[in-house]
Structure 1
Amino acid sequence: MTKKNILHIFLISLLILLSLSIVNATETNTQTKNMETHTITTQESPIQQSTDDIQSQQINNPKIKKTIETTSNQLTETSKNNHSTKNLKSKNSYIINNTNYDDYFDEDGFVLDNTLSHSTVTLTGEFKNKTFYIDTVPFNITGKNALLHDSTINIQLPSIKISNITFNNTNKNSAIVIEKENTIIENCNITYNTTNDVKAIYITGNNSTIINNNIHVGGPSDEIDWYSDPDLARTLSIAITSNNNKVLYNNITTYSTISKIPYGAIESITIQGAIHGDKAENNTVEYNNIITTGHDYVYGINLGQNINNNKINYNNITSHGLAFADSIQIFSAASNIQITYNNISSISQNISDGIAISKDNMVGETRNNTILFNRIEVDGNYSTAMDIGNIKDSQINHNKISITGQNINGIIIINGKNNTIHKNNIKLNSLKNEDVGILLKESTDNQITTNIILTNTTHTITLLGSNNNTIVNNTLISKRKAGDISINTTNTINTLDNNNHFKTRILLNNITTYRDMKVNLTCQVLDETNKTVHGGKVVLKINGKTLKDDNGNIIYLRVENGVAQLSNYTIPENWRKSEYTLTAVYGGYQHYLSNTNNSTITLLKENVTLTYTSQTTFKSNETIKLSVNVTHDNKTVNTGHVIFKINKKTLKDPSGNIIYATVENGIATITYTLPPMSSKIYNLTVVYGDSIYERCELNSKITIVN
């Protein structure tokens, strides 16, 4: 072997030895790092502390009581290319603070290695300008007194839970971004105060649950981002562009910090699919308190494109906007939308809507929607409780609407067909006579039934270019008209029937008096708007017996200026009960319905006067008579009983029974045989009792001689 070959072999051997040394050193460092004290405990339970069987909570609505079930949120074994294999159990929990953050995440927020895989990460203390990407290995994040300033959690793997974190952001666009399915965000506090675009929680993945969070977002009132798809507002508390998500039991407040353009917009919640492609369907927004306030255009909940089959139920929604306020807007055509049991308040100095659906007559079908049992209050110069276009086969029932303003309407239906508008209570207080409770434009085959519409305007319902609609069994009262004549049907053909009957109520006061006294039996008859009823008759009954005159004829009382009265009715002296039921029966008149009400006549006990009239000296063993006169207001009393006592002992007959003297014509007398008695003066006590007079006692003296 030449020297040259020997040198080559030596160099190769040296390189191999160096390589082995490096490998050993790397393994040693890795093992050392994995043994650091950041590993707290080993668990056998599933990593995901799921919110299965979350118990119900209530907001200010008595109907809100419901158990919410959320998907069990166990982490799955994942890789970057495959995110759905078997469920795994947690092995480790880690506590991460601002000091050791760099041990697990790089400067951009990506995990350094697989250390955190299938673990629970507990954040403690304050973090500033940090990002947490969950993208290559799955782990849950919870907080223990954790406060994240200008930080973001970005979820790019399925089945992740984020809980108990507080965010305070000004510069980050989002606090939480959800890009994959089955995420739970629970018990987090998110606060924004910024002049930059913000989507506090941005959901593009499906089947996520946002529950029991406090979200307080202040951002710019700015132009909608019309160049994106979907076109989102630039200030949003929650943005959903996906399907089957739930937003439950959250407190959400959104407000504008600055107006960047005239008539900019902010929204608390938006649900939007893409104009061409992706949908945002089957989402649920329930049991939330949502408050939105701003300088310009303000929306509580906005639904954009491709948003069928969404539910908005049991929420308190308040929207205040200087230029425009809309508590629930469904911008495009939509079907199978459910809006029920919400408390809605929309207030603006200009334009205000409670619920608007396809208001701008967007292309497409708006069908099979349900709007039930909502309480809607709207105040604004140009305002509508419901403004709906192109709606078909839908129900608008049992809603209570109160609306105030200058150019206002209760419910507007444009190009509607085959809808049911049933049992709504609509009250309109307008400065313009043309405003109405229900306005149909170019609409056919709709059923308007059993509604109560009260307006201070000329008409209750107006039909413009609308035919073949049925309007029956409604209570319709306008400023000067009622019933069918309050409906404006100019140049249309529709069915109107039985809209002329108005409910009445009777006010009947309780009476407290004495027997043999004269009283006025008075009742007041009002309609359901508390206006006095003119016309009709009232019959009075006492304990079910109709009052009649001296000739045996029923007494009919005419209702004049809302009052019916029987004057100077004498309470019979022989009424023995302490209470009697007075019933007033109004028989109805023209468009006023009959009604009945009861009150109570309470009779007080009066006092009597006892006067002893017998002699005062008697002999022992003598049969004597003892008498008293019983009077009331110098009138004889003809009811009650009297007993006598001598020295506090009640007088009895030979059989030992108490001797009662019945009062007749104002006199009560007994006959009694005195036993052998000592000669002296005795106390005589006379006691009167009755159900209609007060108990009375008289003390006197008698003398016994032998």
Structure 2
Amino acid sequence: MTKKNILHIFLISLLILLSLSIVNATETNTQTKNMETHTITTQESPIQQSTDDIQSQQINNPKIKKTIETTSNQLTETSKNNHSTKNLKSKNSYIINNTNYDDYFDEDGFVLDNTLSHSTVTLTGEFKNKTFYIDTVPFNITGKNALLHDSTINIQLPSIKISNITFNNTNKNSAIVIEKENTIIENCNITYNTTNDVKAIYITGNNSTIINNNIHVGGPSDEIDWYSDPDLARTLSIAITSNNNKVLYNNITTYSTISKIPYGAIESITIQGAIHGDKAENNTVEYNNIITTGHDYVYGINLGQNINNNKINYNNITSHGLAFADSIQIFSAASNIQITYNNISSISQNISDGIAISKDNMVGETRNNTILFNRIEVDGNYSTAMDIGNIKDSQINHNKISITGQNINGIIIINGKNNTIHKNNIKLNSLKNEDVGILLKESTDNQITTNMILTNTTHTITLLGSNNNTIVNNTLISKRKAGDISINTTNTINTLDNNNHFKTRILLNNITTYRDMKVNLTCQVLDETNKTVHGGKVVLKINGKTLKDDNGNIIYLRVENGVAQLSNYTIPENWRKSEYTLTAVYGGYQHYLSNTNNSTITLLKENVTLTYTSQTTFKSNETIKLSVNVTHDNKTVNTGHVIFKINKKTLKDPSGNIIYATVENGIATITYTLPPMSSKIYNLTVVYGDSIYERCELNSKITIVN
């Protein structure tokens, strides 16, 4: 055989082998796990969620054409796209339990193939030591009575939703890790009790929403991980190192299980950018209940580096730490931070802060921050409600502050400039006389206006090395001083004006009584803090007329223990109106401002008694007299009118006018000429009317004879 023929035979054999390989490969690719295979075209539907509108402005919904191969009770999908970078459309669903987990995930938690792509996975029952990576194909995960023990969901694709899952972890660092944008975590319950590092929800992707979850984390009180960037605490319920995320309507409890070092720390929520590079900005934390308790350093919400433009609003934040408690800490310089309408409680046996911003004078600019309408309660030996450094052009307004302890201050501003501190209510109860409601250090051009500061110490405001500040129209009362003299301005030049007044209010009850009765006219005078006012006088007026004594002198009532009273005042019997206005005018005293208040005296109508006193037998056509006695409590009545009726017809004069009998000295009498009348007995009715007394009617009989 020639070489040429041998070559031909070799080429033909090679072609046959290649054809067989292609046929085998085609058969292999068309095989399914079971015998029966159907092809179904499905209609797309968006992910169903209660947060439908949260991402509507950020996410586009792709149109992905798919076919679904169904095999028995399982669905295996094929798609032209493995995943989308936009909003995930959920076309079909899979139920996964601990038994069939291995049909979809390998032993490390990675999906085996594209089966789950663009689907909703429903987890049921218990899972132990499982990981769910969403990394090559996108799918949502929801739970139906699902309980994950020591398990993690790791999200490495965008636009994923996790909902209705319960986690109970002790050994995993995180229950949910979010590495990509537009994730939603909703209605999950996460519980940790561990002595190892924990970040229950760890967010490095942007635009995620954490909503309506219950997060209960116990972890070690330990040293901050200073070797990482950002440097995070070892125990965290939620850690955010990215931008535009929302934490809404969650219940978050964080506590320490062990102290690994002296003065270790735990934090419920941290928001931190990197020291060099990545930012954590435009995040929102709103409407959460946050409780943090521990042995050492405790933080409710901590903001670290590169954290401008974040919002913390409408939260209930409680922080209890034996060594240190801080409900909101902004560690570095920060601008455009919004902290409003929060209820804050910080309690420690040592140091506690309500809000601390750039407390350690970090490098950078702290500007245009807004701290409004917060309610702050702080208790500790070395404590402040607000401790703020290097702040400029910011507003600290309408906050209500109560602070107790020793070495305490309400608001401390260090190196501040051009800030507004307005209409705050600060109450300080200290064991140390040097403590104050507001302390400015090395600060200029700040406006402190219309605040109310009450302290049991020597001063209300202290200015140290601070000049060109304006302090006006405040209510300032310390233990021994009030107004301008309660401000410590040693060796400084500042503007002080109109800080001497303390608003008052008058409590005056309405009175309901009768005429000719004795009553006590009493008013209570309180200050703005509802404490009783001592000193000053009150004048009373009725319908604008000042009450005077029998000699025509104005009656002045002295305020003692907050009360002014005129005893045994007799309501005049001739008062004809049903209501009178009682006015109390407080004239002011020392630092207390004058005030006025009104109440109403309502006079009730009393009953009278009618007694018929005339004869009862009359002749037809006779001119007669009809009389009644009118009394009240056996006393004669001198007001009102009486009319008479015979057989229900009112008696009238010849001109047709009703005949009225005026009551004088308790008697009402009329003269009347009877018309021609039949001899018989008639009904006589007497009716009394007046604006002071109730209407009264008397029925009697008269006899007419001819």
TM-score (normalizing by structure 1): 0.88
* Displacement of 1:120: 2.8
Question: For residues 59 and 444 of structure 2, what CA distance do their matches in structure 1 show?
Answer: 39
Deviates more, 1:292-301 or 1:550-559: 550-559
1:48 and 1:75 in contact (8 A); partners too: no
2:182 and 2:208 in contact (8 A); partners too: yes
* Displacement of 1:664: 2.4
2:417 and 2:444 in contact (8 A); partners too: yes
State whether structure 2 residue 446 is matched by structure 1 residue 446: yes
Deviates more, 1:108-117 or 1:79-88: 79-88
Aligned ranges for residues 437-476 of structure 1 at < 5 Å? 437-476=437-476
* Displacement of 1:657: 6.1
* Displacement of 1:460: 1.2
Question: For residues 70 and 591 of structure 1, what CA distance do their matches in structure 2 show?
Answer: 85
Question: For residues 186 and 298 of structure 2, what CA distance do their matches in structure 1 show?
Answer: 26
* Displacement of 1:405: 2.1
1:399 and 1:425 in contact (8 A); partners too: yes
Instruction: Give the 3 Å change call, closer, same or farther, for CA 565–19 of structure 1 in structure 2.
Output: same
3-state SS in 1 of match to 2:347? strand
* Displacement of 1:407: 3.0
Instruction: Give the 3 Å change call, closer, same or farther, for CA 691–50 of structure 1 in structure 2.
Output: closer
1:346 and 1:352 in contact (8 A); partners too: yes
Question: For residues 36 and 406 of structure 2, what CA distance do their matches in structure 1 show?
Answer: 71
Deviates more, 1:249-258 or 1:611-620: 611-620
Instruction: Give the 3 Å change call, closer, same or farther, for CA 245–695 of structure 1 in structure 2.
Output: same
Question: For residues 154 and 263 of structure 1, what CA distance do their matches in structure 2 show?
Answer: 32
1:176 and 1:201 in contact (8 A); partners too: yes
Q: Name the % identity.
A: 100
2:415 and 2:442 in contact (8 A); partners too: yes
* Displacement of 1:19: 8.5
1:380 and 1:405 in contact (8 A); partners too: yes
1:370 and 1:395 in contact (8 A); partners too: yes
3-state SS in 1 of match to 2:75? coil
* Displacement of 1:371: 0.5
Alignment partner, residue 604 of structure 2: 604
Question: For residues 545 and 509 of structure 2, what CA distance do their matches in structure 1 show?
Answer: 19
* Displacement of 1:686: 3.2
2:45 and 2:90 in contact (8 A); partners too: yes
Instruction: Give the 3 Å change call, closer, same or farther, for CA 409–591 of structure 1 in structure 2.
Output: same
CA deviation map 1:566-596 (0-9, x unaligned) = 4554422221122211111223344322211
CA deviation map 1:339-390 (0-9, x unaligned) = 1111111122322211111122222222221111111112223221111122
Question: For residues 283 and 674 of structure 2, what CA distance do their matches in structure 1 show?
Answer: 98
Deviates more, 1:349-358 or 1:65-74: 65-74
Question: For residues 353 and 534 of structure 2, what CA distance do their matches in structure 1 show?
Answer: 37
Instruction: Give the 3 Å change call, closer, same or farther, for CA 37–698 of structure 1 in structure 2.
Output: farther
Instruction: Give the 3 Å change call, closer, same or farther, for CA 66–307 of structure 1 in structure 2.
Output: farther
Alignment partner, residue 664 of structure 1: 664
Alignment partner, residue 220 of structure 2: 220
* Displacement of 1:558: 5.0
Question: For residues 112 and 522 of structure 2, what CA distance do their matches in structure 1 show?
Answer: 88
1:108 and 1:131 in contact (8 A); partners too: yes
CA deviation map 1:150-187 (0-9, x unaligned) = 11111112222222222222211111111112222222
* Displacement of 1:81: 13
* Displacement of 1:30: 5.3
Question: For residues 177 and 372 of structure 1, what CA distance do their matches in structure 2 show?
Answer: 33
2:448 and 2:471 in contact (8 A); partners too: yes
Question: For residues 591 and 613 of structure 2, what CA distance do their matches in structure 1 show?
Answer: 66
* Displacement of 1:18: 9.1
Alignment partner, residue 539 of structure 1: 539
1:627 and 1:668 in contact (8 A); partners too: yes
Alignment partner, residue 350 of structure 1: 350
Deviates more, 1:433-442 or 1:266-275: 433-442
* Displacement of 1:425: 0.6
1:77 and 1:84 in contact (8 A); partners too: no
* Displacement of 1:259: 2.4
1:230 and 1:272 in contact (8 A); partners too: yes
* Displacement of 1:465: 2.4
1:53 and 1:69 in contact (8 A); partners too: no
Deviates more, 1:194-203 or 1:694-703: 694-703
Question: For residues 68 and 120 of structure 1, what CA distance do their matches in structure 2 show?
Answer: 14
CA deviation map 1:664-699 (0-9, x unaligned) = 232211223335556566664433232212344445
3-state SS in 2 of match to 1:42? coil
Provide the aligned length of Structure 1 versus Structure 2. Answer: 706
Question: For residues 58 and 2 of structure 1, what CA distance do their matches in structure 2 show?
Answer: 73
TM-score (normalizing by structure 2): 0.88
2:533 and 2:561 in contact (8 A); partners too: yes
* Displacement of 1:488: 1.8
Deviates more, 1:559-568 or 1:614-623: 559-568
Alignment partner, residue 402 of structure 2: 402
Deviates more, 1:111-120 or 1:197-206: 111-120
Unpaired segments ≥5 residues, structure 2: none
Instruction: Give the 3 Å change call, closer, same or farther, for CA 300–75 of structure 1 in structure 2.
Output: farther
3-state SS in 1 of match to 2:403? strand
Deviates more, 1:21-30 or 1:193-202: 21-30
Question: For residues 293 and 567 of structure 1, what CA distance do their matches in structure 2 show?
Answer: 56
* Displacement of 1:505: 1.0
CA deviation map 1:412-443 (0-9, x unaligned) = 11222221111101111223222211112222
CA deviation map 1:510-565 (0-9, x unaligned) = 22332233444333323223344455443332223444567777655554554444
Instruction: Give the 3 Å change call, closer, same or farther, for CA 65–16 of structure 1 in structure 2.
Output: closer
* Displacement of 1:632: 3.4
Alignment partner, residue 569 of structure 2: 569
* Displacement of 1:603: 1.6
Deviates more, 1:166-175 or 1:70-79: 70-79
* Displacement of 1:307: 1.2
Unpaired segments ≥5 residues, structure 1: none
2:68 and 2:75 in contact (8 A); partners too: no
Question: For residues 59 and 373 of structure 1, what CA distance do their matches in structure 2 show?
Answer: 34
* Displacement of 1:102: 1.6
